[in-house]
Every structure is written in structure tokens, then in C-alpha cells.
């Protein structure tokens, strides 16, 4: 069964192997078991039900919360030669009848539908359809404990009551343990298998900037975007007014920006979303109302203009960046005003206690002076041992110091003002401000007035945030948000204990240089011209078919084309994301661009030319790395050329590339694995102890000796 599934994965999606857990989930679904799947955004959740839908004889009904999300996924499926459709209010009655007829005839494999429509059709359409599987996407919406609760999802519990023999797969990217249990309970799932993939998204850099005023943030953001021409991004804001103000500021600087929030007419929201998906807008400034319907794979950055209210929402929102696996940036701006406003919101409603706790965890993340990814992953139950090296704290380790005297100055001033002031007034007193309100209350006469005049307002704000996080002070929200000294704070004030503080990070360095973190795309700068040419060709196809460009091929696939420079259909089909259907539809056009730009030859020129060029340089004693640089090819490609030249007899020996012991190790791996589809299979089997070049050379030695038939790797 899994072999069939893998074959479909390659044929329709162009991928050579499943991501972690996908194969196991598919097997459980095929065994008619209920399943709960937690995978990070971009982790491949959809394949967990899309592949079974192709293997099963009937129909998979997919419950999806948003019309835009349905359309996006159906377009992508149809582009991959998978028959799919949706039922929602955007269709005419005639279009709906046509889709239903196709479903009844078995001509549709996946039918997307909203939870409300599903309930309406329970006693009519659903009983007639040949349903084999129910997939509940964004399943966290069913739980009142979740960060995005939708009451209509709670009606889905009827599925197991009316269709007890049909398996249900529930999928989400964000759910803590409480939410997971609630999903199982609300859906009436029967002893479900629960799969929790790693929530680690190592391609996302994590940065937090605190103590930056709103006007300075806007300037900072404009500078950030200016360095990322043509790279799409999302800026999340707490208020509708901020989204509009920010959009206007960006547009004034010539940046193609749009605005999205619940207060806009639906037509305007839909246009903004469509323009963003189709690369007509570079930036969307939005409230959290924006994003669930976005499946755009080439979002390169996400910025939070304000502190998010919980880690689940933050994680889901930053997860909209880098879905194609390429390195992407995330930045979070944070100050006390955000914390006060969000605390006020959290205190309202029936879930005040849990909302306040979730906000506290978000605050701890923002104030962290240790690897941020460790904190983020620990929230979801993971305990990484190593620092990530891709967050602002790892890049700029915090410097601790004895801050007892600073804390005592602040607490003494607060005590002398009878703990009746908020953050701004406290800082103004410490800095010796002459504001009218301060003078009116006589605060200029207290002993600690001006005691902290040597520090800026922004730095004092960071110290007070640390004091809050250390539990030395607290905010009395029912007393006009005044600051109160805690028992721990009094111990510091009266010199019974010391206070350890961290040097403020007012201007955190830019996110880590992405080119140093690209992995297989580390040398992508040399292929930027080719990448841009491929991008333009992709846009031509997208415009003619009225599809988002990333549905044709995502950026990661184009990057790999630009890096590997395939010359033939066979080589193009080894590119991740290029399946047989897409090659037949688009492949030759992309090959032509690659041939013309890289080799100045037609696509029909025999491949031997490129081997001869490598051979000439090799005989001049050039190393594989030097050959790669001279020919503007990847080193992996050059090693592949050398292996083929060795097999043809043009090169007599490659023993200086690989030892007998290493050949024996690869032989052991080959005997264990069987037919090798990708070098990565051997690489993983050997626990990454041999690099790809040695594996390629060893396979050539084995083939030369008749011990293994590599075929075309």
C-alpha cells in the first residue's frame, strides 16, 4: 500500500519520498482508523488525506473553514491532475449540480465543504455520496480551548454518529495537549491514532525587538522591506486602525501594500487576498482575521507589529512564512503598552484565567534571554537539547549583570509615589521629566526624582519589562494599571536579595544572513538571474491559467532548478516538486529557459556536451569545486558527471574520491535498502556519516564492478 502511495506522491506532487510521519498516517487511514494529525504549517498535512483519497475507491469529504482556502487547495489539486471540487456560496446552482453529479459518478476524489454546509447536507447529499473518508482541516477550531474557536465546528460530532464505519482524520498545525484532547472528545473519535510531528521550523529566523516606539517601528519595517525587493510578507497588527496607517506609510514609500481586517467590505478583503496570492501586492498589513485562507508558499517574512495574545496564534501566523522550506524571517515588536492592552482583553470573557496564562507564556517568550526556539518548542511539548543558532538571542547572546541598584531606584520611586502610577509616569520621574502632570502631583520633589536620568526612556522600559517578568512588580489592572511592588520586589528593595538583569537590546541586529542558512540553496546568489527568468516564465503560465504562481511551481522548486540546471526530462523529474503531469504541462518550457541561459544551446543538444566540458577541466587537474565554479554548476552535479565519465571509461580511477572502506559501507546500505531512488536514502541509512559526493562515487564503483545497477540517479 505504501509503495502505491509513494508512486502517487511522485506522479502527482513530484516528491521522491514522504516527510516524517506522512506514510504512517496514510497507512492508518487506509486501515480505517480515526486519526489526529498535528504538523506544523507547511509540514505536509494535506498529503495525509489527499493520497488516501486517490487510493480509496470513493470520495473524501474535506471540511474546511474558509472559501478562499477551499479554492486555493482545489486549484492546487487540479493543477496536480487530481480531480477535486468545492461546494460553497460562491457557486451558482447550476455549478453545484454539475459538481454533485460528478461526485455521484465517481469523477471527483476530494470534495471541500464548509462545516455549516456539511450539517445542512447531512440527511440529503451526504447519504447519497460514495464517501470513504472525512478530513477535518484546521481541527483546532472545534475546541473552545483553542486559539481560533469556531462554534460551527462543534456540530461535526454528528459524523461518527451517522457514519460510524467511515474513518475521520482531524488535522491542525497548532494545538496544545488540552486542545488535542478536546478535538478527540468533540469529534467522538474512536481510539484515534495521534501523530504529533516536530513543530520545529528551522528555516524561520526568530527575532524580537522591544522598546521601539510605533513611529520608529514603521521606519524600521520600511528599511527591512527595502532590502527584500519582490519578497512577499505579512504584517500582523492588533488594531484595524494600525493596519490602515501602516499600509498608507508603506504605499507612500512606493511599496505595493494592502490592508485586511474584519471592518472592511468583503469585496475589498477578497481583492486584497487575491492580489497578494497572485503577487500583485508585496505586503499585506492585517489583523489576525487574515491568513487561515492563505496557502501561499513563497511568503518570505512575517512581522508582528504588536505582541500576539498567545503562542498558538503567534506560531500559526509566523508559520505562513517559508512554507516552501526556504529560509524566511520573522520579527516581533513588543512593549508594555501591548502587554497592558492584551491583558485587559484577556481578562474579559469566560476563559479569563486560561487566556491570562497563555498571555503570560507569550510574554515569557518575548522577554527570553535564552534560545527562543527552545521556548517555542517546549510549549508544544518538545525539548531540543541544542540552541537553534537562528534566533536573535543565539546570534546576540544576552549579557547579564547585577541590576540590583537599578531595580532599587525604580522600586524606591514607586514606593514614594505610593504605588499609584503606571509605567510611563514611573519612567518620567526616574528620568527627571518636567511634564505638567508630574509637577502637579509633586513627584519632582521625591528623593529618587531624576535618579535614572542617564538612561533613555526605551531602556528604562526594557528594565521594567524585565522586572515584571522576574515578578518584582505587577500591574494592578483594576487600579488604572498602576504598578505594585511584590514580596519578591521588596526583598530586592531592602537588599535581602540581588536582581539579575540583562543588557537591553534596543537595536537588535538584522535577522541572520539568509544566504548562510540556505542549506542546499546556499549558493543561490549565483543563480539569481536564472531564478528570475524561471519566475517570469512561471508568472506567464499563472496569468494565462488564472492561478497563483506558486501552484505552477513553488519557489523552492525554482531554486532547485536554478541550482541543479537540469538538461533533460529525466533530470527535470528529479527536481523536488516536478511530477509527471506538471512536466508534461510546463517542463519543456522551463528546460528551454535553462538551456538557453546556462549553455546557449537548444534543448535538443546531446547531454554529452556537458560531460565533455567537465572532462576537459578535470584533465587539467581542476578540483570538482573549481569545475563547479567555472561552469556555474553545483558541486553535486560535477560529482555526478565524474561518476558517469568513470563508468564510461573516460576516467580511469576515482579511488582518490572514495576509499575501499567507504565503498563497503555504501554496499551494506544498498543491500539493506534495495533499489536506490535517491542518494538521500543511503545518506540517512549511514546516519549522515558520508557526504553525497562519496556516496555517488561509491555507487559508481559498485556499478563498475557489477555489484549494483544504479540506473539513473
Q: Is the pLDDT of residue 710 over 70?
A: no
Q: CA of 669: how far to CAs of 357, 672, 685, in Å?
A: 50, 5, 6
Q: Which three cell numbers stand for residue 392?
A: 536573535
- Report strand pairing: 283-286 vs 257-260: parallel
Q: Which three cell numbers stand for residue 643?
A: 561518476
Tell me how far apart the alpha carbons of residues 89 and 76 are, in angstroms, rounded to a whole number.
Answer: 20
Highest mean pLDDT among 77-86, 306-315, 406-415: 406-415
Q: Is the pLDDT of residue 168 over 80?
A: yes
DSSP percent split of the chain into helix, strand, coil, nearest 5: 50, 10, 40
Binning pLDDT at 50, 70 and 90, where does residue 520 land?
very low
Q: What is the average pLDDT value for the chain, to the nearest integer? A: 85
Tell me how far apart the alpha carbons of residues 472 and 461 are, in angstroms, rounded to a whole number.
Answer: 14
What pLDDT sits at residue 506? Answer: 58
What pLDDT sits at residue 250? Answer: 96
Q: Is the pLDDT of residue 564 over 80?
A: yes
Enumerate domains of the chain plus CATH numbers: 2-196 (3.40.50.300), 204-395 (3.40.50.300), 400-501 (1.10.10.10), 518-604 (1.10.150.80)
Contact by Cβ (8 Å): 280, 242: no
Q: CA of 233: how far to CAs of 76, 320, 474, 551, in Å?
A: 21, 9, 36, 18
Tell me how far apart the alpha carbons of residues 460 and 471 are, in angstroms, rounded to a whole number.
Answer: 16
Contact by Cβ (8 Å): 713, 676: yes
More confident residue, 598 or 403: 403
Q: Which of 58-72, 306-320, 393-407 has the lowest mean pLDDT?
A: 58-72
Tell me how far apart the alpha carbons of residues 179 and 175 are, in angstroms, rounded to a whole number.
Answer: 5
Q: Is 63 exposed, middle or buried (0-12, 13-18, 19+ CB in 10 A)?
A: buried
Q: Which of 17-26, 238-247, 571-580 has the lowest mean pLDDT?
A: 571-580
Q: Is the pLDDT of residue 517 over 60?
A: no
Contact by Cβ (8 Å): 448, 429: yes
Tell me how far apart the alpha carbons of residues 235 and 303 are, in angstroms, rounded to a whole number.
Answer: 5
Per-residue pLDDT, averaged over 508-536, amounts to 55
Q: Which of 10-14, 254-258, 484-488, 566-570 has the lowest mean pLDDT?
A: 566-570
Task: Kindly report, residue by residue over 602-623, the tens digit of the pLDDT.
Answer: 444 334 456 778 888 888 888 8
Tell me how far apart the alpha carbons of residues 197 and 179 are, in angstroms, rounded to a whole number.
Answer: 16
Per-residue pLDDT, averaged over 289-302, amounts to 77
Q: Is the pLDDT of residue 555 over 70?
A: yes
Per-residue pLDDT, averaged over 622-628, amounts to 86
Per-residue pLDDT, averaged over 649-656, amounts to 87
Task: Kindly report, residue by residue over 408-461, the tens digit of the pLDDT.
Answer: 999 999 999 999 999 899 999 999 999 999 999 999 999 999 999 999 888 898
The dihedral of CA 428, 433, 437, 442: what is its sign?
A: positive
Amino acid at each position: 500500500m505504501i509503495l502505491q502511495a509513494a508512486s502517487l506522491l511522485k506522479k502527482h506532487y513530484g516528491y521522491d519520498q514522504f516527510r516524517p510521519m506522512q506514510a504512517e498516517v496514510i497507512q492508518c487511514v487506509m486501515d480505517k482508523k480515526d486519526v489526529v494529525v498535528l504538523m506544523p504549517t507547511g509540514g505536509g498535512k494535506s498529503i495525509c488525506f489527499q493520497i488516501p483519497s486517490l487510493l480509496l475507491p470513493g470520495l473524501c469529504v474535506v471540511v474546511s473553514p474558509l472559501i478562499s482556502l477551499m479554492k486555493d487547495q482545489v486549484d492546487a489539486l487540479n493543477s496536480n491532475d487530481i480531480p477535486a471540487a468545492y461546494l460553497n456560496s460562491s457557486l451558482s446552482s447550476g455549478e453545484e449540480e454539475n459538481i454533485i453529479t460528478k461526485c455521484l459518478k465517481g469523477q471527483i476524489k476530494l470534495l471541500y465543504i464548509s462545516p455549516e454546509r456539511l450539517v445542512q447536507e447531512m440527511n440529503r447529499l451526504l447519504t447519497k455520496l460514495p464517501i470513504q473518508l472525512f478530513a477535518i482541516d484546521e481541527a483546532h477550531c472545534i475546541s473552545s480551548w483553542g486559539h481560533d474557536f469556531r462554534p460551527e465546528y462543534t456540530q461535526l460530532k454528528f459524523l461518527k454518529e451517522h457514519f460510524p464505519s467511515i474513518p475521520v482524520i482531524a488535522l491542525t498545525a497548532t494545538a496544545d495537549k488540552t486542545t488535542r484532547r478536546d478535538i478527540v472528545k468533540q469529534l467522538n473519535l474512536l481510539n484515534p491514532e495521534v501523530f504529533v510531528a516536530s513543530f520545529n521550523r528551522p528555516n524561520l529566523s526568530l527575532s524580537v525587538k522591544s522598546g521601539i516606539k510605533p513611529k520608529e517601528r514603521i521606519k524600521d519595517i520600511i528599511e527591512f522591506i527595502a532590502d527584500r525587493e519582490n519578497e512577499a510578507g505579512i504584517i500582523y497588527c492588533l488594531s484595524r486602525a494600525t493596519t490602515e496607517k501602516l499600509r498608507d506609510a508603506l504605499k507612500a514609500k512606493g511599496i505595493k501594500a494592502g490592508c485586511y481586517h474584519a471592518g472592511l467590505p468583503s469585496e475589498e478583503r477578497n481583492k486584497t487576498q487575491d492580489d497578494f496570492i497572485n503577487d500583485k501586492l508585496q505586503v499585506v498589513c492585517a489583523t489576525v482575521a487574515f491568513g487561515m485562507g492563505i496557502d501561499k508558499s513563497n511568503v518570505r517574512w512575517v512581522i508582528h507589529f504588536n505582541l500576539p495574545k498567545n503562542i498558538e496564534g503567534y506560531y500559526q501566523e509566523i508559520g505562513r512564512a517559508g512554507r516552501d522550506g526556504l529560509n524566511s524571517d520573522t520579527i516581533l515588536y513588543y512593549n508594555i503598552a501591548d502587554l497592558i492592552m492584551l491583558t485587559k482583553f484577556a481578562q474579559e470573557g469566560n476563559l479569563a484565567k486560561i487566556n491570562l496564562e497563555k498571555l503570560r507564556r507569550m510574554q515569557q517568550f518575548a522577554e527570553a534571554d535564552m534560545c527562543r526556539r527552545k521556548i517555542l518548542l517546549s510549549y508544544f511539548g518538545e525539548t531540543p537539547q541544542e540552541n537553534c543558532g537562528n534566533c536573535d538571542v543565539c546570534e546576540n547572546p544576552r549579557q547579564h549583570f547585577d541590576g540590583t541598584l537599578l531595580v532599587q531606584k525604580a522600586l524606591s520611586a514607586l514606593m514614594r509615589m505610593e504605588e499609584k502610577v503606571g509605567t510611563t509616569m514611573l519612567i518620567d520621574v526616574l528620568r527627571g521629566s518636567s511634564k505638567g502632570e508630574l509637577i502637579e502631583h509633586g513627584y519632582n520633589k521625591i528623593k529618587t526624582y531624576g535618579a535614572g536620568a542617564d538612561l533613555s526612556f526605551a531602556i528604562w522600559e526594557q528594565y521594567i519589562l524585565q522586572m515584571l517578568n522576574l515578578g518584582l512588580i505587577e500591574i494592578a489592572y483594576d487600579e488604572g494599571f498602576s504598578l505594585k511592588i511584590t514580596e519578591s520586589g521588596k526583598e530586592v528593595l531592602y537588599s535581602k536579595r540581588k536582581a539579575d538583569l540583562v543588557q537591553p537590546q534596543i537595536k537588535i541586529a538584522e535577522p541572520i544572513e539568509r544566504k548562510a542558512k540556505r542549506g542546499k540553496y546556499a549558493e543561490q546568489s549565483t543563480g539569481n538571474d536564472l531564478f528570475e527568468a524561471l519566475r517570469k516564465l512561471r508568472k506567464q503560465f499563472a496569468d494565462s491559467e488564472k492561478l497563483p504562481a506558486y501552484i505552477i511551481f513553488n519557489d523552492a522548486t525554482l531554486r532547485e532548478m536554478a541550482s541543479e540546471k537540469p538538461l533533460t526530462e529525466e533530470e527535470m523529474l528529479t527536481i523536488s516538486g516536478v511530477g509527471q503531469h506538471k512536466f508534461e504541462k510546463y517542463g519543456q518550457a522551463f528546460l528551454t529557459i535553462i538551456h538557453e541561459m546556462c549553455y546557449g544551446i537548444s534543448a535538443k543538444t546531446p547531454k554529452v556536451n556537458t560531460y565533455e566540458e567537465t572532462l576537459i577541466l578535470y584533465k587539467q587537474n581542476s578540483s570538482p569545486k573549481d569545475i563547479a565554479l567555472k561552469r556555474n554548476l553545483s558541486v553535486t552535479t560535477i560529482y555526478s558527471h565524474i561518476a558517469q565519465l568513470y563508468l564510461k571509461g573516460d576516467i580511469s580511477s576515482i579511488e582518490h574520491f572514495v576509499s575501499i572502506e567507504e565503498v563497503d559501507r555504501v554496499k551494506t546500505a544498498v543491500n539493506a535498502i534495495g533499489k536506490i531512488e535517491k542518494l538521500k536514502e543511503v545518506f540517512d541509512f549511514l546516519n549522515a556519516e558520508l557526504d553525497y559526493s562519496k556516496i555517488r562515487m561509491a555507487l559508481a564503483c559498485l556499478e563498475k564492478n557489477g555489484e549494483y545497477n544504479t540506473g539513473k540517479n
